[in-house]
Amino acid sequence: MSRRKTERLLGLVVCLLSSERYLTAAQIRDAVPGYPDSFDAFKRMFERDKEELRELGIPLETGANSAVEEEAGYRIPRQAYVLPEIRLEPDEAAVLALAARVWRQAELAGAAAGALLKLRAAGIDAEETMQPGIEPRLRAGEAAFGRLWEAVRDRRPVAFDYRAAGRSEAQRRHLEPWGVVNRHGRWYVAGHDSGREAVRVFRLSRVEGPVEFSGPAGSVTVPEGADVRETVRQWDAHPPPQRSAVLRVRRGAGHGIRRYASSEQPDSGGWDLVQAPFSDVGWFAEHIASFGTDVIALEPADLREAVMTQLKGALA
Amino acid sequence: MSSPKAPSRRPPRPGHSTDRLQRLLALVPYVISRKVVGLAETATTFGISERELVDDLNLLWCVELRAPDPYCPIDLSYEGGEIVVSQAESMDRPLRLGVDEASALLVGLRMLAEVAHAAAEPGPADRSALSRTIAKLEAAAGEAAAPSAQVTIQVDQVAERAVLATVTDALGHGRRLHLSYYVPGRDEATERDVDPMRLLVVEGRTYLEGWCRRAEAVRLFRLDRVLGIDVLEVAAEVPADAKPVDVDQGLFRPSAGDLHVVIDLSVYGRWVAEYYPCENVTELGDGRLRVTLRTPDGGWVRRLALRLGENGRIVEPVDLAAAVRRDAAAALAQYSEVPDRGQPVAEG
């Protein structure tokens, strides 16, 4: 932004903030330096300036000072503009600085820094002088995060192409988003899928191409009691192990299997017999195959078959 | 200007032309709330050079309103390197927090609270300070605080709570730890003494960063891979030159000696691109992918290929692809040696 424009916008803010009365466009043009003489050119520039101030979160009000005044005016009510008084103890300021660091490499980094700046401007010393015992970070997430956060924030429905696990083609999905969740480092969005007429969870990394708004702000209603975090947890949860496998595990190896074993006993020839619980044959067969010659599935038969198929696949 | 004291400043965002206006609106109350403040200190806080700051101050001083009577609403001076604002009218307080700003801090605080909640007292970040700060920030943000409830960050599983509690205890008391630690790449359970330095919570996983006395180097240990942990009756001794990991550069960076691995994935193997940092990802059509990974650990790649089976094919290096086929053939051969017991295990 040019220096002249910055000066003009700053003057506009000070002018509207200082006045208790609504000021008409003409009064504003007279008071704030930097506007062109032609009224039409002024009006166009003033419209853009108002938009910029609103984008910064500055509460620009339109109204009239009395019922008889015909022309609407503008003002920035101080009450709505200022950050309310906030005082933080040193330990509170320290955790606040730490919280801002969470986003340092992620989408809301600018917002976190901006918030910290305003709080410092309110007199809070949120300095990062201490050596914290903990460093929390969110990674710069998937490209879809920014748009989906805006949609959730503004309660707008969205549409996007989504490639579900194991699908070769992406499908168009229409969603009323209720919330975004980061679970174990991965981002999800949950809400009402209006095409499927059901609650659905989507992984942001599987969204392809841009997320588009498909309705106006405020048109999504999050049902009372909707627990997005729990919805995602259930979607992501593994079923509890219901079956038990008997495995032959080479002594001194297969620690990744032994960690979850229910029993271990020595077998002949440098091997151990290990019992391990599992739920999904496919997943467990892949896991066993990854140990190569160190783990042999003995029982049940379908698991044994699945491991052999898996190994044949790696051989082909 | 780069300064180590201003790490949290806004990253450069070309095209965001209102940044300077935001800064100017914060600058006046920043000085007023401190009565008098140094140029250098202020420039550092705002992430700008002293020259830029002086330019900002001049701009503020020059603001003029012409009607009804001409006057200058802001009066300030910065003689001798000290800034004083003697008149600022309506600009004496910062602008309220926007929804994104309030959300960024509140979500961060709640994430910290979740980690603190998982660990027993004394936690890695003071639990009571966190809840007090959250309450004060929610009050100050007002309506802007509400949408932050729509973002949740969930960290790790409950199963690691005991490990996390032990680690924070050792960190708090400056004690050495003995770890029994699982290394999946080599399928090894290792024993080592570690002098704890920090807890890292990155991508939802919790790591202990410490000086590993076996490796004589700084190492990261994922808490969900800790098989056993004991606090030793020995004070931790982290060497003065032990360099903490720069979290913002990524926890695992490829090094010159790394293997360069190219794998073709079927539609059922695409998860690899989601789980591991890939240097290159190319769509091959029909949902198939070609990914390039860098890793120091050939053993890890062999395990990955065996896990993928027909859903992944190592393209490069060719000797690793041959090794996987040998592994698979040898493992398969064991199935003809050990007869099928034929008796299904009862479910339940």
- Specify whether B164 is located in the same domain as B230: yes
Residue pairs spanning A and B at CB distance below 8 A? 412
Is B338 a domain residue? no
- Per DSSP, which regions of B39-174 are E strands? 75-77, 82-87, 151-154
Rg (CA), chain B: 28
Whether the predicted interface score ipTM is above 0.85: no
Please indicate, yes or no, whether residues A232 and A247 belong to a single structural domain of this protein: no
Residue-wise pLDDT for A156-194, tens only, equals 999 999 988 878 788 999 999 999 888 877 889 999 999
For the segment A40-56, the average pLDDT, to the nearest whole number, is 93
Q: Locate the chain A residue with the closest alpha carbon to B269.
A: A166
Confidence of residue A210 (pLDDT cuts 50, 70, 90): very high
Q: Looking at the structure, do residues B126 and B74 belong to the same domain, yes or no?
A: no
B223 and B239 assigned to the same domain: yes
Can you give the residue range of the structural domain that contains A154? 145-236
Indicate if the alpha-carbon torsion angle B148, B153, B159, B162 is positive or negative: negative
pLDDT band, very low/low/confident/very high, at B339 (cuts 50, 70, 90) = low
Q: At what angle do helices B298-308 and A301-315 cross, to 10 degrees?
A: 120
pLDDT per residue over A7-22, tens digit each?
A: 999 999 999 998 888 9
Contact at CB, B151 and A96, closer than 8 angstroms: no
Are B39 and B23 found together in one domain?
yes
Cβ atoms of A101 and A115 closer than 8 Å = no
Does residue A268 sit in the same domain as residue A219? no
From the CA of A298, how many Å to the nearest CA of chain B? 6
**Which of A236, A263, A293 finishes a domain?**
A236
Are A130 and A153 found together in one domain?
no
Residue B217 lies in a domain: yes
B15, pLDDT greater than 60: no
pLDDT at A132 over 70: no
Residues of chain A found within 8 Å of residue B206, distances taken between Cβ atoms: none
- Total number of domains constituting chain A: 4
Task: Examine the domain organization and report whether A156 and A223 are in the same domain.
Answer: yes
Closest residue in chain B to residue A146, using alpha carbons only:
B100
The per-residue pLDDT for range A241-256, each reduced to its tens digit, is 889 999 999 998 898 8
Residue B5 binned pLDDT confidence (cut-offs 50, 70, 90) = very low
Q: Cβ(A171)–Cβ(A159) under 8 Å?
A: no
List CB contacts (< 8 A) between B224 and chain A.
none
**Min Cα–Cα distance to chain A from B154, Å:** 5
B13 against B271, higher pLDDT: B271
Q: Which amino acid is at A1?
A: M
Domain shared by A151 and A230, yes or no:
yes
> How far apart are the two ends of chain B, measured CA to CA in Å?
65
Report the residue of A88, A96, A221 to disrupt the B interface, i.e. the one with the largest count of B CBs within 10 Å: A96
Flag whether pLDDT at B11 surpasses 50.
Answer: no
How confident is the prediction for chain A on average, in pLDDT? 89
pLDDT value, residue B125: 56
Cα angle at B257 between B251 and B263, to 5 degrees?
Answer: 80
Least confident of A184-198, B47-61, B209-223, B326-340: B326-340
Bridge-based pairing state of the strands A171-183 and B151-154:
parallel
Beta-carbon contacts of A22 under 8 Å, excluding residues fewer than 6 positions away, are A61, A62, A63, A64, A65, A72, A73, A74, A75
CATH of the domain at B34: 1.10.10.10
Is residue B2 situated within a structural domain? no
Q: Is residue B345 included in any domain, yes or no? A: no
Same domain, A102 and A19: no
Q: Do residue A161 and residue A215 come from a single domain? A: yes
What does the pLDDT read at residue B17? Answer: 56
Out of B302, B306, B342, name the one closest to residue A301 (CB): B342
CATH no. for residue A45? 1.10.10
Residues B175, B241 within the same domain: yes
* Distance (Å, whole) CA B13 – CA A5: 18
Clarify whether residues A99 and A149 are in a common domain: no
Q: Which of B249, B276, B293 is the last residue of a domain?
A: B249
Residues B242 and B173 in one domain: yes
Q: Are residues A251 and A294 in the same domain?
A: yes
Angle formed at CA B30 by CA B24 and CA B36, multiple of 5 degrees: 120
State the total domains in chain B. Answer: 4
Judging by beta carbons within 10 Å of its beta carbon (0-12, 13-18, 19+), is residue A239 exposed, middle or buried?
exposed
Which of B64, B91, B118 is the C-terminal boundary of a domain?
B91
d(CA B276, CA B298): 15
* Interface probe, candidates B97, B127, B247, B302, chain A, greatest A C-beta count within 10 A: B97
For B61, the token pair is: 């001083």
pLDDT tens-digit series, residues B147-181:
888 887 777 654 577 888 888 888 888 899 999 99
Residue B347 covered by a domain? no
Report the pLDDT value the prediction gives residue B7, as an integer from 0 to 100.
35
pTM beyond 0.90, yes or no: no
Residue B220 included in any domain: yes
Q: In this structure, are A76 and A133 located in the same domain? A: no
Looking at the fold, whether A95 and A39 belong to one and the same domain comes out as no
Does B178 share its domain with B239?
yes
Domain hosting residue B185, numbered range: 158-249
pLDDT above 90: percentage of residues in chain A: 57
Among candidates A85, A127, A255 on the partner chain, residue whose Cβ is nearest the Cβ of B182: A255
Is residue B272 domain-shared with residue B240, that is, in the same domain?
Answer: no
| pLDDT digits 0-9 by tens, B238-270 | 998 888 887 777 677 777 788 899 999 999 999
Question: Tokens in use for B280?
Answer: 């290159």
Tokens representing residue A69 in the block: 């005044």
Domain of B238: which CATH number? 2.30.30
The verdict on a CB contact (< 8 Å) between B152 and A179 is yes
Do residue A251 and residue A303 come from a single domain?
yes
Instruction: Judge whether residue B273 has pLDDT over 50.
Output: yes
Q: What per-residue confidence (pLDDT) applies to A103? A: 85
Boundary-marking domain end, from B249, B273, B292: B249
Which residues of chain A are within 8 Å of residue B11 when distances are taken between CB atoms?
A: 109-110
The SS3 assignment for A21 reads: coil
Cβ distance A96 to B329 less than 8 Å, yes or no, reads no
How distant is the Cα of A29 from the closest Cα of chain B, in angstroms? 9
Question: Is residue A84 within 8 Å of residue B96, measured between CB atoms?
Answer: yes
